[in-house]
Amino acid sequence: MRNTTRIFKALSDPNRLRILMMLREKSLCVCEMVDVLNLANSTVSKHLSVLRNVNLILDEKQGRWVNYRLANSDESPDIGFVLNQLEHQLKDSSQITQDKEKLTTVDRFVLCAPAVVSVHHAG
């Protein structure tokens, strides 16, 4: 029962539900989720930590990125039930539809590019 309670607590935030639904589409890095959710990096990271702690998502380092993905049924016995319920409950959500559309335009190579610092010399 403790694990079920932890999962329901993790699902009690709309942004975490949005993250799970985005990860149904594809693996994402934090900067991509920040862009879609329009939240601070630290806020998205906290939501990811909550979802990771209940084994609904996993992170994988690939080059300079940490990609987040949904756990599969071998990694999380509860993931199938959770995703089926979310899909059913959120199928008509305009927010989920907007997020899905926004995902088609996010480009990690642009979003996550290091800022270019220009140095001006007084002359």
CATH topology of domain 2-111: Arc Repressor Mutant, subunit A (1.10.10)
pLDDT at site 118: 47
For the chain, the helix, strand and coil percentages under 3-state DSSP, each to the nearest 5: 55, 10, 35
Give the amino acid at 3: N
Q: pLDDT at residue 28 above 50?
A: yes
Q: What are the structural domain ranges in the chain?
A: 2-111
pLDDT at site 4: 85
CA angle, 83 then 87 then 89, to 5°: 115
Give the chain's mean pLDDT: 89
Q: pLDDT at residue 119 above 60?
A: no
Give the pLDDT band (50/70/90) at residue 98.
very high
